[in-house]
Amino acid sequence: MATHESHESPGSTAARRQMGRKLTQLRKSRNMRQDDVAAGMECSQAKLWRLETGKNSVQATSRDIRHLCEVYGASEEQTADLLALHAQTKIKGWWHDYSAVPNWFQLYVGLEEAAKSLREYHTELITGVLQTPGYATAVVRADASAASEEEVRQLVEVRLKRSNLLTRRVPAPPQFDVILNESVLRRPVGGPAVMAEQLRHLAELSELPNVTIRVLSFSAGMHPGALAAGSFVILDFYDPDEPTQVYCEALTGAAYLHKKKEAERHIWAFDGISDQALDPVASRELLIRTAKEHES
């Protein structure tokens, strides 16, 4: 199921979800049903559901949050905590300035920036946060939905700005564990020169303390990740109450999976791929060797 969200900062992404969980816990602690609470607030049950599940599409005011706290008999401390979280949900993310970014992808950018660690497996393309300008431009130009030069410029710029995550100072950068199918290295996106530059860039990034890049070579044969039928990203967060999130992208949207069994299944697949992938040193050597092959 594709999720459509927009205009978030890393703070707002985490805060909105945390606020929703706390409101749900308060309601359930009073044995109250969503429809009864919604009727008392003179709003739709759908609005309350979106609020509790952390959807960005809901318009909730601080008065709404205070009213809910009164209905649930929340303490002054709980009320202050929820109002503070609500204020954080109003912070706009830097990607808000880029109108060309699809709504369904804006949620991912917020989750990516809020994550403590990301485990990624990619079968077709190098993930955006690791792309060079030349590679990113080639990928964006291949997408027919980027209809104008301005949209191309925006989408490339967003990919490049996402790379700031790799070396940011505050907060600490997330840990990236990226596995690339060998076919990603062999596919000449943008031409031989662009690919050679991109692969050398990956080799350099793999030297960062928070970045691990490994290659699943053709010789690995059948592997558990093949059962996932494509690329996926597993995101973990600093908040222990924030569930592990799995992101799977498609042409017209993305699936955001957070149920425990869904996450466990993808973790199983990633662990299986990890066991069969080359180690970081061998992967770096393959990246450099393949870059030379593109140049020859």
What pLDDT is attached to residue 8? Answer: 44
Please, which pLDDT band fits residue 20 given cuts at 50, 70 and 90?
confident
Helix (H/G/I), strand (E/B), else coil: 169 = coil
Contact predicate 126/201, CB 8 Å:
no
Contact predicate 90/114, CB 8 Å:
no
* H or E stretch covering 178: strand 175-181
Helix (H/G/I), strand (E/B), else coil: 229 = coil
| Residue 98 and residue 64 share a domain | no
Q: Which two tokens stand for residue 275?
A: 């066991």
Note down the domain range covering 39.
Answer: 11-89
CATH number at residue 25: 1.10.260.40
| Residue 73 and residue 154 share a domain | no
Sign (positive/negative) of CA torsion 107, 112, 115, 121? positive
Selected residue with higher pLDDT from 57 and 51: 51
What pTM, to 2 d.p., does this model score? Answer: 0.81
Cα(290)–Cα(202) distance, rounded to whole angstroms? 12
What pLDDT is attached to residue 144? Answer: 67
Specify the number of domains making up the chain.
2
| Residue 102 and residue 66 share a domain | no
Core vs surface per residue 121-146: b (16+ CB within 10 A) or e: bbbebbbbbbbbebbbbbbbeeeeeb
- Is residue 194 situated within a structural domain? yes
